[in-house]
Chain A
Amino acid sequence: MDKVRLKDIAERAGVSIVTVSNALSGKKGVSSALRKKLIQIADEMGFDFEKYKNRSVPGKSISVVMPAEFVKEGTSYYWELYQKAAMEISKNEGFTILELVRYEEEKRFRIPRGILEKEYDAVLLIGGFGTRYMKQLLTSIKAPVVLLDCISHDVRTDAVLSDNYNGMYRMTKYLMDAGHREIGFIGSRSSNNAVDDRYFGYRKAHALEDIRIRKEWFLEDRDADTGERRIRLPHKLPTAFVCASDYSALILAGELTARGLRIPEDISVVGYDDLMDENPFLGTLTTYHVDTDRMSKEAVRMLMGKILHESEEPEVRQIDGRIIERSSVKNLRR
């Protein structure tokens, strides 16, 4: 079959070539319904969007919406996600509008003006909000949306997440493969859903190996009343700990050192997240690398795809990371 030309699409749809051109290149003067229809026809006919895009598609403006507290102080996991997403949007010839939602706004259920005025082609929502606000926000957005590292159970929306459950399963299994049978878990499940999923990954590994979980080795990493980050170690310790974050591992390492215990000679410790940090301990910590590169790449790719092609069914995709082996685990089998 010959290459599909604009003329073919125009004939099939019964509109002018200029209209087709304007519709496909994102220029003004075409109703959104017609634009959608033309893109669909072009897609069905096997039109080569790639080539066309390079010539004349103006950049898409992507509104990145995230809670303000994630960017308040220094670098953080979410800030890293934002940076990578913005870079990816730029690679796709789009530009990024950052829309921060302050906690007061969320509490009062106020939708940011930028969202209501719709000065964007699509929205990337990073990090997430409370259930009710999330629902309100998603129903206010009248453009394609992809959620990055958060999910809404009320409004089915495309989402890219890190696979916390399988990730922690892998981490726990890694310790078991190194001969560990007594493994503790550090993390506050009530603090967020990701930690809760990680906890169940830890349980899955135990269930598969038929090892009973011991409650006294399941430790919170913060004080329930004050929120202060600390870990109260029991007298008898397991041979290894999985931590729900690198930060928890750091706190744990402090407590273990205070007891005169060495990592990994006396006790093994693994973290989670693989945050970029200058801290020397984290440089020795075996951990699970959450693939923020791939997550932001996939989210932006999904979003760009949604601008062009209406997707049939929202997709929730969870991205695997990988184990980064450093020197905080002792192999008991050797």
Chain B
Amino acid sequence: MAERKKVILKDIAEQLGVSVVTVSNALAGRRGVSLEMRQKIIRLAGKMGYESAYDLSGGGRTIRIGIFTPHKESLEATPVILALGKQELRRNRMNEKLVFLPIPRRGRRLDSFSEDQFDGYIVFGAESQELLNSICEKASVPVLSFGRINEADRTDSVVMDCFHGMFQVVSRLIDMGHRRICLFGATNQYGLDQEMGYRKAFDAAGLPPEEDMIFRNFYIGKNGYQNKQEDCMRLEALIREQMSREVKPTAIACGSDGIAEEALRILREMNIRVPEDVSVTGFFKADEEDTGIASMTWPIRNMAKAGMYILRRRMEGEKDAFGVISIQGKWYPGGSVARPDDDFPMNPTIIHIFGE
């Protein structure tokens, strides 16, 4: 890498026409910066090669962590990681220097990166197995994968538990009296885990799942970000088909808040009321947003806490890999769910497992 002038907060602030305080707050994960601006700032900081220079504890060792951030989710996660990482490290008498290392969009592999200057890496939501592998192969210091399980070996990874997450969502819907619950799961393993959770919920209630209402692999992000057009079209066609059936679903469980938003839009177009006519749930709800959609939260803070703990332990020389650490989210109540209209006889054998 060519030598260049050290980037300071002011440089970032000037380029975006915001105050230095705003930039500082955005990068430190403090509240009071809009999500959009935060993302802009983090993205630019990454591009400009900004190195965080927080040095709060005095004494202790300074740890250099390289953070690979390929896409949007990671940008949302970064400030939280920064904030919680500091806490975890500071409690253990460490300072950190965090350096953002952007991964090219849709990058399949990373062939080279300078690594002698880092003590550890965090890889956020690696888009492909290949990319994660290439980083793990090259790095001689600990690597933590955030959001993606490395199938190839026992790379330390922190992921959300989508299996129990969807189990909880669907169990709640069943508890409310829903029986015909349509599933639109997310992509890849997330969607598969969600399907398994859906099935577990039906099995646990002693009910047969609706085999012709189970779908997955929808790549639909929030606010229309990174939507795959064909997935939106497939979702629309399926919702129209399901809602015109003689025996319609009374609830739609979505694999992401993005899918849920899109479903709400389609239902609105069809003049179907939510939750009066059909209940809708989301998944991966972001921390600070009030979407009004009942959902399963993305446990980003707890994931960050666990992740930084693991990385610290590994940087301190823990030999034994932690493998996959999966963290459960929590139910977020929202106005998009209600008891179904048609009264099913309640199954007396169902134990009420979720109290408020």
Contact = CB atoms under 8 A, between A and B. Distances in A.
B163 A1 contact: no
A39 to B, nearest CB: 12
Which residue among A135, A153, A208 has the maximum number of chain B CB atoms within 10 Å of its CB?
Answer: A153
Interface stretch (A93-101, A247-255, A314-322): A314-322
Contacts, number: 92
A230 B195 CA distance: 31
Interface string B194-218: 0111011001100000000000000
A163 interface: yes
B330 interface: yes
A131 B353 contact: yes
A255 B192 CA distance: 34
Interface in A143-168: 153-154, 156, 163, 165-166
B192 A208 contact: yes
A17 B355 CA distance: 44
A153 B330 CA distance: 10
A204 B196 contact: yes
B: interface residue count bin: 35 or more
B306 interface: yes
B327 A196 contact: no
Contact of B323 (A1, A131, A322): A322
A49 B81 CA distance: 22
Given A46-B57, A131-B353, A154-B355, A166 B302 contact: no
B327 A315 contact: yes
A1 B327 contact: no
- Listed residue (B149, B163, B354) with the most chain A CB atoms within 10 angstroms of its CB: B163
Contacts of A189: 203
B325 interface: yes
Interface in A165-203: 165-166, 189, 196-197, 200, 203
Nearest to B158: A317
Interface in A185-232: 189, 196-197, 200, 203-204, 207-208
Given A203-B199, A204-B193, A2 B325 contact: no
B305 interface: yes
B144 to A, nearest CB: 14
A31 B149 CA distance: 45
A316 B324 contact: no
Interface core residue of B200, B203, B306 (most chain A CB under 10 Å): B200
A288 B59 CA distance: 43
A317 to B, nearest CB: 6
Nearest to A130: B351
B196 A153 contact: no
Contact of B90 (A46, A156, A207): A46
Contacts of A84: none
Contact of B199 (A3, A43, A163, A200): A200
29 contacts: A1-B56, A3-B58, A46-B58, A131-B351, A135-B355, A153-B168, A153-B353, A154-B355, A156-B330, A165-B164, A165-B193, A166-B149, A197-B163, A200-B163, A204-B193, A208-B192, A294-B322, A313-B301, A315-B299, A315-B302, A315-B305, A316-B328, A317-B325, A317-B327, A318-B326, A318-B328, A319-B322, A320-B154, A321-B323
Given A196-B200, A322-B323, 12 more contacts: A1-B57, A1-B58, A43-B91, A46-B58, A153-B354, A163-B324, A165-B193, A166-B326, A200-B197, A204-B196, A315-B306, A317-B325
